[in-house]
Amino acid sequence: MAGGQKETPRQQMIGFMYLVLTCLLALQVSSTIIDKFIFLNNSLEHSLQGAKSASENGLKALKAKIEKEGNSPEGLAALKRADLLKKRTSEIISEIDKIKAILIKEAGDGIDPHTKSVKNPKEETRVEVRMVGEEGTKSGLGYKLEKDLNGFVDWLNKEFKDLKLPKFEPLAEGNAKNPLYAEDPVQRNKDFAQANFAQTPVVAALAVLTQKQNEILRYEQEVLKALGSGDLSADLKFDEITVGVTPEANVLAPGETYKAEMFLAAYSSRNQAVMTKDGAPISVSQGKGKVEFKVPDPGPNAYKDGKAERSWVGTITFKGKGGRDTTFRKEVKYYIAQPVLLVVPKNLNPLYQNCANPLKTAVPALGAAYDPSFSFTAGQAIPGPQKGEVTIIPTALGKHSLKVSSSGNPIGSQEFDVIPVPPPNVYLGNSQGKQIENLDVPINIPPTLTIVAEPDPNFKIALPNEANYRVTAVTVRQFRGGVSIKEQRINGGQINMAQFNARKGDGFTFKVEEVQRINSRGSIEKAPVKNPYQSCTQK
């Protein structure tokens, strides 16, 4: 809207109806909401006809004024510019009328002769196909309309710059600059076509288009007035008043904040309304009441099909004729979504004792409001870097539970089996740790042998950062002719075989005395092994 201009009552009402329209677009479609869209479009169409008449009368008044003043060169130049303005305005309004006709025919299935409205007012898919087009292509009529609308505004600002009018703002913008969606990660990224025509009923799309036509004529009237036509405003009176409520969402979870705006659809700046929510007064600003309260926990038995129905009552009281109070009352229903905790193991199920077991949790009903805290009945629950991530370090075997809350409200729990870490396998390797095969027959024993502790393959896949082992003690016994001739304890897993001076036929046994596991946190614990004995014979 052009800044710095004092708006007429009619213009204020159009702006207010556009605010209502914007709020309604964010609501779930129902028959009641569809009726509001039809009412809004009818009101905007009525206003549009009044604006057209006012513009025509203004142009006639300008011509009469110039003729009366003797058709001065300055006056004729102003008239020429007014005619050019009228031509451009008529062209773009006509283009919008064509789009409206397309939507009525192709999406709304035509006009119902009885209701005088479209036959299929709720249709959304065909609106989106026609106005937005296929995803990523920007092939819909909405994108051409955006270019035409903003091109018209750019032309106004350049063509009539000398009139010192405040800059006319673009008529087709997305949600990026709309404060209503500043905190909404989905809505705020929508462009003009997506914000106004994606998943939008036919009657809502028509109301958007009619509002744009009203804005075009408002801009035209501002220019005509500056050219010398005088005040072109025409008051528009409404004879119906209804209570409007625009909640940010009507399906919420316990702990979320319910937010809504309650207002009179025919607001008068001269009449200060008093509004209440469940009998308690609420603050009112520019005809809109601010409704905000914490959604209660209805209890586990209140949910049906995952939702619990609740409501609040709003009233609006204002001074009517004769100074008497007139009160409108409206009951507004909303639904509390039952929180469902989802726990997804990143790599495993069950959990391993004394290991860092990463998990992911989510509560779809809470969405962005999910603010989790965790506890585990036998061990630690450490929150991760991303919301919903948690690492469980169990300290005891058996069945234990992860409990989850959000913003201090209990959400649910998940039971897990905690099992011990599977013991590693032990094998004989060369100095590089490569496994020596065919130990059942004599071999040429290398100068250095390595005793290797290899983790269980499934455990290694599940928790690679926990599957780190080292052999710390081995007892070596040397046999010759079936008699033990030497026994030695070795610290570590590498054995210098040269010290045994092995002869052909000498046998060796290796008993693994100790294996350690180094966990992901750098702590060390003793680990049992499956096969502590290994043996080989000198060839």
What domains appear along the chain, each with residue ranges and CATH number?
Answer: 9-229 (no CATH), 243-337 (2.60.40.10), 342-419 (2.60.40.10), 425-537 (no CATH)
Whole-angstrom Cα distance, residue 313 to residue 329?
A: 7
**pLDDT value for 98:** 94
**pLDDT value for 12:** 55
The whole-model pTM stands at 0.42
- DSSP letter at 499 equals G
Strand residue runs (E) in 286-378: 288-294, 307-319, 325-337, 342-345, 351-352, 357-362, 372-376
**pLDDT value for 27:** 44
Buried/exposed 24-45: b ≥16 CB within 10 Å, e otherwise: bbebebeeebbebbbbbbbbbe
**pLDDT value for 252:** 63
> Which residues of the chain have a pLDDT value below 50?
1-4, 16, 20-21, 24-31, 230-240, 321-322, 347-348
Beta bridge partners of 521: none
Buried/exposed 168-207: b ≥16 CB within 10 Å, e otherwise: beebbbbbeeeebbeebeebbebbbbbbbbbebbbbbbbb
**pLDDT value for 136:** 78
Whole-angstrom Cα distance, residue 365 to residue 373?
A: 17
Separation of first and last alpha carbons in the chain: 97
Order of strands, sheet of 398-406, starting from the edge strand that comes earlier in the sequence? 351-352, 409-419, 398-406, 372-376
Both structure tokens of 59: 């142009």
Q: What is the pLDDT of residues 502-513, one digit of tens each?
A: 999 999 999 999
Buried/exposed 377-403: b ≥16 CB within 10 Å, e otherwise: bbbebeeeeeebbbbbbbeeeeebebb
